[in-house]
Amino acid sequence: MWTTGAEQVEQAVGECVGLLGTVTGRDWHGPRAGRLEWSCREAAEHIADDLIAYAGQLAGRESEAYSPFEISLEEGTDNAGVLRVIGATGTLLAAAVRTTPPEVRAFHPYPFRSANREGFAAMGVAEVLLHTHDIAEGLGVTYEPDPALCDFVLRRIFPHVQPGPTPWRTLLWATGRGELPGRPALTEWRWSNNLVIDAERLTLQGVTPAAAADLSTVGDGGFAWLGGAPADGTRVGAGLVYKQYEDGVHRPDWGMYALVRREDGRALGAMGFHGVPDEAGRVEIGYDLVAAARGHGYATEALRALSAWALDRPETRVVVAVVERGNRPSQNVLARAGFTRVAADPEHLTYELRASGDR
């Protein structure tokens, strides 16, 4: 069943408070938190800072910057008091996630300057898991979170990271806190919220590995679909996206996008690339719509937007689409979007759209 992440925030915070609550009588100011420069106490306060900041971004619908406030603890607050604040701020983030509409995006700098409610939930869970680990390491306490929480984070904000032997070890490696056989140690890292590309009547919303896994079976991927379900082609494409993720070759910018109508938030179809541009700068694109959305120009609008985005990238020179000879509606979409037919075989026609300086 699809989740927005509120329950995961609550679970992560509950595990954190439960574990650290057993060592509140220890000195948190002196010991360093794992590999961080912060003390264990500073890391604990940072967890609360992040949780309330993320809640504020969603609640305030902040679109350009962080909401201009910060949290401060009363002088004399003891370690148990810090955990009370973590519990309260975690509850606030969970409430913000539950009450924020799916189409809302708020500012976060990495990497596309916005995130939706699921992204903020995943970032909040990540902050809790990782800094609880840091504090536990500094205090010599054993900590290993629920693997499902780690998987929740990885599939949403680490789409570029191939799954490893366990979700927890993979998350530690992906954040420079551990080692994985056959992978170089990381000294720098960023998580990655999904990209959203604007069109006139639509937004093209990047499909995360979590959404792709759900769509490839019988789920909705967190989208409200016109007609109640995606087209079969979307489910097939989502399965390919998730396979790329499992194989470690998924590049989220060059993956699948759900086409979401602005007026009502309904997903109408999907569009995406078959992979990254090749050495010649060629990238292939594909798409489909649910039956009820066809004939209204949505595919043409989305194709123009996504092709323009691709051709604005330095690694791309030409966008390619291959359609069946009998698929006249798709051929018309390509023609309206500015594509030119360049090749044919008995079953398929090939169309191209080139960058303006490469015609």
Residue type, 49: D
What are the tokens at 9?
A: 């925030």
Contact 86, 44 (CB under 8 A): yes
Structural contact between residues 168 and 147, judged by C-beta atoms closer than 8 angstroms:
yes
* Mean per-residue pLDDT over the chain, rounded: 97
pLDDT at 169 over 90: yes
pTM score of the predicted model: 0.96
Sign of the four-CA dihedral 181, 183, 189, 194: negative
Report the pLDDT averaged over residues 263-280.
Answer: 97
For position 356, what pLDDT does the model report? 83
pLDDT, tens only, 17-71:
999 999 999 999 999 999 999 999 999 999 999 999 999 999 999 999 999 999 9
Q: What is the pLDDT of residue 2?
A: 86
Q: Does the pLDDT value for residue 152 go beyond 80?
A: yes
Set out the domains of the chain in order of their start, with CATH numbers: 6-174 (1.20.120.450), 196-358 (3.40.630.30)
Q: Is the pLDDT of residue 134 over 70?
A: yes
pLDDT at 268 > cutoff 80: yes
Strands (E), 175-311: 196-198, 202-206, 224-225, 256-261, 266-273, 282-289
d(C-alpha 45, C-alpha 67), whole Å: 18
Report percent pLDDT > 90 for the chain. Answer: 98
- If 0-12 CB within 10 Å is exposed, 13-18 middle and 19+ buried, where does residue 266 land? middle
User: What average pLDDT does this structure show over 117-146?
Assistant: 98
**Residue 359 confidence (pLDDT):** 58
Mean pLDDT of 307-336: 97
What span, in angstroms and rounded, lies between the C-alpha atoms of 149 and 152? Answer: 5
Q: What's the pLDDT score for residue 207?
A: 98
Q: How far is CA 269 from the centre of its chain?
A: 19
Whether the pLDDT of residue 129 is over 80: the answer is yes
Q: What is the pLDDT of residue 55?
A: 98
Between the CA of residue 338 and those of 304, 320, 321, what are the distances in Å? 8, 12, 12
